[in-house]
Structure 1
């Protein structure tokens, strides 16, 4: 499986997939820069009169519900419809769905317009979507329960897609396969946008590599490895310095680093 992860990274850098992103205003720049750093091409297109056609030209579609406006909601319906018609991967980041009921209703409606290839959220968001009790504070998960794998597998079967729950240990499942990614650093929780950047990376990898499960694992492992190296090279616990180093390290993650430092437990 580790060979699949290196192949996913190779495919990303060779194909330079166009990622159509409708994301939140807090992290739009971070998502664009993280995609550029790993070799993808971001397009932050969310005008309702453009997205239906544009989504059909992209390699993947990333929908992030973090600061969902009515205009973004309409754009998301049109974009997922266009992407689904063309068989283009759709990555959903259900930010704060455990705290704001409207988000869950929006996700349900999105499912009527198209289908999700990957749902990527924190553990609280994944559990909330799976119908399990979740501990959340706004966009943050306070949940560290041992039922994360069960939640991911249940949600994956319900939506027929890959599900990823990020946290101290990232969980990825597709209803049949599952794994735990044990890389990462606490510093990723001290900056705004790390989760959104990870979601954007999943969209980038899925736009270049056909196996959505392998692409998702490779994307989250890339983010976690970059976080580890950013903490090591920034020389301390300063979040601003860490953020700058994180973008740099995303551009430096390669196949050799995945082979050497990747800690993935296949289940």
Structure 2
């Protein structure tokens, strides 16, 4: 898939797809800057009164339940239905699903009511949505279930969607076909919004891909190599410098470095 990753990354840079984000207040600025750095264009529109119009004008829609409320639930549902009507891919980031009943039920409602192209979450969130036992504290998975990859495949098959479960190794599956991505940096765990930004980067890649499975895998590989490069560039290692350098590498990563470092494999579950 090396050529596909490069082609999609460069297509995003030339096309500048518009990504509509209904995301959480903690990560709005970082997500917007990350999308700009990658070559896409972000818009953050939360009001139910304009959610449908904005989603219809976008190339992809990201629904992130990180700071959830009844009002954002309403806006997400309106935007999602508009995106579905116009054939625009919808990406769901079920932040903290499994931590509270409100989060879990909200994510389940969106999955029930909308056609979701990709669910992107950590092992605990994915296992929770799949009905498997998981440990989620706050918005983090504090323990990965032993059958995490199987839970991802189960969720993908039952919801007829693609699931991207991120962690030390990213697992992307549509229930029948599975790809794994072996790029990234432990420093991603030290900053707020790393996963949320990846969901929006994945939306940009999927907007320019014929396959959510391949688009999500390409996004994970590109993002993971950028994280590796950002960690290597830090003169003073720490989360502040890493976050800045991650944005830099999303913009500046060369084709040569991406091609040399990305590791995508086919897997059997």
The question of a shared fold, defined as TM-score above 0.5 by the shorter chain, is answered with: yes
Q: Which moved more, 1:56-65 or 1:167-176?
A: 167-176
Gap change, CA 1:182 and 1:112, over 3 Å in 2? closer
Q: Distance in 2 between matches of 1:156 and 1:266?
A: 17
Return the offset for 1:112.
Answer: 4.1
Superposed displacement of residue 143, structure 1: 2.5
Deviations 1:55-75 (A, max 9, x none): 111100000000012221110
User: Would you say the 8 A contact 1:11–1:209 is kept in 2?
Assistant: no
Length, aligned pairs only: 267
CA deviation profile, 1:167-197 (whole Å, cap 9, x unmatched) = 1111111112112111111110011110111
Q: 1:58 matched to which residue of 2?
A: 58
Greater shift in the superposed pair: 67-76 or 77-86: 67-76
- Structure 1 residue aligned with 2:159: 159
Between stretches 201-210 and 121-130, larger displacement belongs to 201-210
Contact 2:17/2:40, CA 8 A, preserved across alignment: yes
Distance 1:140 1:177, change over 3 A: same
- Equivalents in 1 of 2:182, 2:236: separation in Å? 21
Name the structure 2 match of 1:204: 204
Sort the Cα spacing of 1:146 and 1:8 in 2 relative to 1 into closer, same or farther, 3 A: farther
Shift of 1:254: 4.1
Superposed displacement of residue 142, structure 1: 1.9
Aligned-residue offset at 1:123 = 0.6
SS at match of 2:252: coil
Gaps of 5+ in 2: none
Cα offset, 1:48, TM superposition: 0.7
Unaligned runs of 5+ in 1: none
Give me the whole-angstrom Cα distance separating, in 1, the residues matched to 2:166 and 2:112. 26
- 1:79-228 paired onto structure 2 within 5 Å: 79-228=79-228
Q: Distance in 1 between matches of 2:210 and 2:222?
A: 17
Contact 1:9/1:255, CA 8 A, preserved across alignment: no
Pairwise CA RMSD: 1.3
- Structure 2 residue 214 is the aligned partner of structure 1 residue 248: no
Give the structure 1 partner of residue 68 of structure 2.
68
Q: Deviations over 1:87-130 (max 9, x none)?
A: 10000000001101112211232234321000000111000101
8 A Cα contact 2:48 2:78, kept in partner: yes
1:239 partnered with 2:239:
yes
TM-score (norm 2): 0.95
Q: Partner of 1:163: helix, strand, or coil?
A: strand
Q: Give the TM-score normalised by the residue count of structure 1.
A: 0.96
Say whether the 8 Å CA contact 2:180–2:266 is kept in structure 1. yes
Deviations 1:37-68 (A, max 9, x none): 11000000111100112111110000000001
Give the conservation status (yes or no) of the 8 Å contact 1:17–1:40: yes
* Deviation string, structure 1 residues 215-256 (Cα, Å, up to 9, x no partner): 101111121111111111013431111111110011123432
Contact 2:133–2:145, Cα closer than 8 Å, also in 1: no
- Per the alignment, in what secondary structure is the counterpart of residue 175 of structure 1? coil
Is residue 108–residue 129 contact of structure 2 (8 Å, CA) maintained in 1? Answer: no
